[in-house]
Amino acid sequence: MEGAQEKPPGSSAPDPGSGEPTRSTRGPEVLPPEESEGCTRPLETAPKKLCGYLSKFGGKGPLRGWKYRWFFYDERKCHLYYSRTAQDANPLNSIDLSSAVFDCKVDAEEGTFEIKTPSRIITLKAATKHVMLYWLQQLQMKRWEFHNSPPAPPAAPDAALAGNERALRLELEQEEAELEEFLCPVKTPPGYVGVAAALQPAPTMPLALQNISLKHLGTEIQNTMYNIRGNRQAQGTGHGPTEEASLPSKEPQREGQPSPPDPSAPGKDPVDSLKPAPKSSLTASLIQKAKRQNTFPLFAEGFSRNRTAQEKALALEQQVLVLTKELKSQKELVRILHKALEAAQQEKRATSAYLAAAKDRDRLELVRHKVRQIEELRRRVEALEQERESLAQTASLREQQVQELQQHVQLLMEKNQAKQQVIHKLSEKVTQDFTHSSAQPLVPPDAADKDFLSLQEKMEHLKDDMEAYQTQNRFLNSEIHQVTKIWRRVAEKEKALLMKCAYLQAKNCQVESKCLAGLRRLQEAMGDQAGECSELLRQLIQEALQWEASEASADSVELSPISEYDEYGFRMVPNYEVEDLQLLAKIQVLEVRSHHLLAHEANERPLRERWAALGELAPSVELKQLLRMGVSQEHRPRVWRWLVHRRVQHLQAPGRYQELLSQSQTCKHPAARQIELDLYRTFPNNKHFTCPTSIFPDKLRRVLLAFSWLNPSIGYCQGLNRLAAIALLVLDEEESAFWCLVAIVETIMPAGYYSKTLTASQVDQRVLQDLLAEKLPKLMAHLGQHQVDLSFMTFNWFLVVFADSLISNILLQVWDAFLYEGTKVVFRYALAIFKYNEEEILRLRDSLEIYQYLHFFTKTICNSRKLMNIAFNDMNPFPMKQLRQLRAAHRERLEAELRELEQFKANYLETRASLVPVVPEGCTSEDEGDGEA
């Protein structure tokens, strides 16, 4: 690689990129400076440009085999181009290294390695193993440099560019240092890469057609014509083309052919091209020809020159070096003269001041000042003289130490040499004893010698194999290290892009939902008016409702597609009974999807991390906050089991559930018929309870029958089926779902909540009315004005804990806090639901519209984070003491009303029984009729 082959002083290799004539291979070769062995050579001296001859395995049929190709690396595209010879104008093809990995195998031929891309595997072979390792290491570094280079901005300040370059340089240096731990930097192989390889003729093949690429025949013809024209011009113009020489016509680029690489790719490094050189007519003509033709400046016709031109070039370079040294000496002389001039000017100023002084006193002061300066300089000279003496003493001591160390080293070397001689003599003696033993040999001496030699040869082969495997292991370790870092960087970029796409997709859903809401309002405003606008509106609504199916078929990859069911089996798109609400269902789905996409990275990921870091579950403020924000899907079964166990640990007994199941099988419970009726009416919008082949209905039947035998006073109440179904969907185990139902009915809800009279449920409805009047007085006044009774909707909310009302992700978030904190959560969320939709309800001016809206408005709540903030922040203060007081007061009033009702019923029955039945005239009683018969 010519870009980094530094030229030592006195080197006479010209710069071919600048059009200078170069020496032929017969002249004295200019080799790169010797590099230190091992890992001491820094990677900064590695060549920046990568090019050279390699053998590529390819072809089809009888032409399949190794073909020599000229390879050169393009830094801008991270592509490795290859052509048949270094003088070809157009490359045959290229290899994309940005996503490639490199491999070398010990059992393959020497110098063979592979470049594996996502689309193909390219097998290459270098001349030696050293050249192979050099190529592999340089390709690794080029790939890493490409992945870490920032994209070039259109216009950036120089300071910002300098900062990016410094950061990139530091990162590359760090990566190089890490790679040095695996594989030591490989020295540049002279004559195999860079200018040295380009100067040499292309290797020849046994058959003429074997090295020709039939796959890229058009490019081969273009390169052949270019070389023919170049040779003719060289013959017609002598040593080089002139200004009047005819320009070769540029061959048209074949369609589909990769574009020619950067002219600077295989050329000299820009640092080398900045060296001063005399501009002769020959050099100027070569530069102009390189600019006119669509060729690589490295492969101009200036390579094949006679010896005289090369000697002239060498003489010119030597003259340039002499002049450069002379210029440096002249600059040093000028610097010394400048210092002397400054001292003279300072002396002149002091003398002028002395002569210009008007009084003797001023002159005397100037003389004293000079005397002080002289004294100070004298002291400095003395101090420097003392320092010089101390340094001389130190140097003499160091010299003595060095002499002593040298003597010690000499003694060690002599001692080592003596030991080596002893070892050599002992090894010879052992060998002689082994080969010429005095005892009777088991085999003839000749056979023993052969066996010994074969074992020795085998041992040498094993050593070579071990060394090869060690080299392969070091390289593969460096490759795995670099590929892993590249993969992590790509994964981070992909994650950032996915976040950006999710954000844009959420914004798109928001815009679309707003457009659909506008269409719905326009539809409501227009009504059934006939006309062109209504027909257009109908078409727009129909296209909006059919959009999902068309997009799903057109686009196979989507970040967050709208699925028909969620992870718990609930239908994502609400199935409203009224056909006019289809557009509203589509708007709701888009809003749910938008909130999910926006909250995924901002809320769900940090929440998962907090749950993962929580560890062992225990009552705490942190756990309370996490449960209010919702439990992630992977942690919810474990958390619910812990919450249920806290509630029913005093009721649980081993084998209790199985006993209740066996009891329900031996004896039929009176509530079994009602359970069977409600079984297939449980969650008609959930596929687990509507699918005929699902096992969830059987599980639910067994859970409800076991509970009816556990609590005979309740047996079964409508609503228990939905509570048990939610527990089954989350916990997926019958026994866990059974104890969850027990915990809700017997420990969380007040006593009598699911009794025949539903006394506690009625009390909570009255408590809710008081809290609504306190927290939302404006809304309650509006509902009272239109005589709307909220208990028609809210009674079912409390009975089944919103199981039929909220969408699944919000419902389960409510249950997370409900199982931990109790019924207070139900009141909080009931108030929050009305607060969430307060403005919409206040806009309705008719009681029928209000009832219709309250029938489905809970399904329109999509933002779970907003609802949670209203429930636990906006509804504060919410003391449990106030809730108990309200419950006690309303229970006392309700029980008094019930007693009064019972008394009124008893009086009515008593009065009716005391009355004698009077038979109207002309009618006979049943007894009389029977008697006549």
DSSP state of 79: E
> Are the C-beta atoms of residues 219 and 90 closer than 8 Å to each other?
yes
Considering only CA atoms, which of 594, 593, 589, 586 is closest in space to residue 507? Answer: 594
CATH of the domain at 195: 2.30.29.30
Domain co-membership, 762 together with 887: yes
Between CA 479 and CA 247 the distance in angstroms is 47
> Are the C-beta atoms of residues 559 and 505 closer than 8 Å to each other?
yes
Does any domain span residue 598?
A: no
Between CA 802 and CA 726 the distance in angstroms is 11
> Are the C-beta atoms of residues 297 and 19 closer than 8 Å to each other?
yes
Write down the mean pLDDT value for the chain.
75
Is residue 499's pLDDT more than 80? no
Decide which of 203, 238, 273 is a domain's last residue. 203
Query: How many other CB atoms are there within 10 angstroms of residue 224's CB atom?
Result: 14
Considering only CA atoms, which of 803, 656, 818 is closest in space to residue 743? Answer: 818
Strand partners, 96: 79
Residue 147: alpha-carbon gap to chain centroid: 14
Q: How confident is the model at residue 912 (pLDDT cuts 50, 70, 90)?
A: confident
Average pLDDT of span 507-526: 67
> Are the C-beta atoms of residues 741 and 727 closer than 8 Å to each other?
yes
Longest distance between any two alpha carbons in the chain, whole Å: 174
435 compared with 905, residue with greater pLDDT: 905
Domain co-membership, 772 together with 889: yes
> Are the C-beta atoms of residues 50 and 186 closer than 8 Å to each other?
no
3-state secondary structure of 686: strand
CA-to-CA dists, residue 842 to 362, 372, 777, 837, angstroms: 100, 98, 12, 9
Is residue 932's pLDDT more than 50? no
Total domain count, the chain: 3
Instruction: Provide the sign of the torsion angle of the four alpha carbons 676, 677, 682, 688, taken in this order.
Output: positive
Does any domain span residue 558?
A: no
Does any domain span residue 131?
A: yes
> Are the C-beta atoms of residues 722 and 815 closer than 8 Å to each other?
no
DSSP state of 40: -
Considering only CA atoms, which of 676, 678, 699, 680 is closest in space to residue 689? Answer: 680
pLDDT tens digits, residue range 117-129?
988 888 998 888 8
Does any domain span residue 725?
A: yes
Domain co-membership, 65 together with 126: yes
The order of strands in the sheet holding 93-96 is 93-96, 79-83, 65-74, 51-58, 121-125, 112-116, 101-104
Q: What is the pLDDT of residue 315?
A: 84
Domain co-membership, 806 together with 720: no
Q: What is the pLDDT of residue 838?
A: 93
Q: What is the pLDDT of residue 143?
A: 87
Q: What is the pLDDT of residue 439?
A: 52
Domain co-membership, 763 together with 740: no
DSSP state of 860: G
Q: Two tokens at 396?
A: 């003499």
pLDDT tens digits, residue range 712-742?
888 899 889 999 999 999 998 999 999 999 9
Average pLDDT of span 7-12: 39
Domain co-membership, 712 together with 789: no
Residue owning tokens 């695996």: 182
3-state secondary structure of 37: coil
Q: How confident is the model at residue 5 (pLDDT cuts 50, 70, 90)?
A: very low
> Are the C-beta atoms of residues 562 and 548 closer than 8 Å to each other?
yes
Between CA 498 and CA 727 the distance in angstroms is 34
Q: Two tokens at 692?
A: 């005929």
Does any domain span residue 295?
A: no
CATH of the domain at 844: 1.10.472.80
Domain co-membership, 700 together with 764: no
Give residue 634's region: left, alpha or beta (phi > 0; psi -120 to 50).
alpha
The whole domain housing 879 covers 752-911
Q: What is the DSSP string of 223-256?
A: HHHHHHHHHHHHHHHTTS--TTSPPPPPPPPPTT
R_g (Cα) of the chain, nearest Å: 48
Does any domain span residue 57?
A: yes
E strands, 7-64, in order? 51-58
Between CA 561 and CA 545 the distance in angstroms is 15
Domain co-membership, 142 together with 105: yes
pLDDT tens digits, residue range 270-313?
334 334 444 344 444 444 444 444 444 344 343 444 457 777 88
> Are the C-beta atoms of residues 28 and 308 closer than 8 Å to each other?
no
pLDDT tens digits, residue range 168-177?
566 656 666 6
Domain co-membership, 736 together with 797: no
Decide which of 679, 713, 748 is a domain's last residue. 748
Q: What is the pLDDT of residue 391?
A: 93
DSSP state of 602: I
Average pLDDT of span 545-567: 49
Q: How confident is the model at residue 783 (pLDDT cuts 50, 70, 90)?
A: very high
Does any domain span residue 895?
A: yes
Domain co-membership, 736 together with 788: no
Q: How confident is the model at residue 186 (pLDDT cuts 50, 70, 90)?
A: confident
Between CA 483 and CA 485 the distance in angstroms is 5
- The secondary structure of the chain in percent helix, strand, coil, rounded to multiples of 5, reads 65, 5, 30
3-state secondary structure of 296: coil
pLDDT tens digits, residue range 803-862?
988 988 899 999 999 999 999 999 999 999 999 999 999 999 888 889 888 888 888 888
Is the pTM value of this prediction over 0.85? Answer: no
Considering only CA atoms, which of 601, 662, 886 is closest in space to residue 766? Answer: 886
Is residue 707's pLDDT more than 90? yes
3-state secondary structure of 65: strand
Considering only CA atoms, which of 794, 789, 878 is closest in space to residue 828? Answer: 878
Is residue 570's pLDDT more than 60? yes
Average pLDDT of span 89-102: 86
Q: What is the pLDDT of residue 103?
A: 87
> Are the C-beta atoms of residues 692 and 679 closer than 8 Å to each other?
no
Between CA 91 and CA 87 the distance in angstroms is 10
Stretch among 491-495, 549-553, 708-712, 901-905 having the lowest mean pLDDT: 549-553
Decide which of 691, 725, 748 is a domain's last residue. 748
Q: What is the pLDDT of residue 86?
A: 82
Q: Going by C-beta distance under 8 Å and a sequence separation of 6 or more, which residues neighbour residue 182?
A: 474, 475, 477, 478, 481
629 compared with 26, residue with greater pLDDT: 629
Q: Two tokens at 894?
A: 């309700």
Residue type, 369: H
To the nearest 10°, the Cα dihedral for 531, 536, 542, 545? -130
Domain co-membership, 742 together with 769: no
Is residue 582's pLDDT more than 60? no
CATH of the domain at 672: 1.10.8.270
Q: Two tokens at 462?
A: 């094993």
Residue 619: alpha-carbon gap to chain centroid: 36
Q: What is the pLDDT of residue 765?
A: 94
Is residue 210's pLDDT more than 90? no
Q: What is the pLDDT of residue 653?
A: 86
Q: How confident is the model at residue 221 (pLDDT cuts 50, 70, 90)?
A: confident
3-state secondary structure of 874: helix
Considering only CA atoms, which of 186, 192, 185 is closest in space to residue 31? Answer: 192
Whether omega before 91 lies within 30 degrees of 0, making that bond cis, reads no
Q: What is the pLDDT of residue 767?
A: 94
Does any domain span residue 728?
A: yes
Q: How confident is the model at residue 155 (pLDDT cuts 50, 70, 90)?
A: very low
Domain co-membership, 118 together with 198: yes
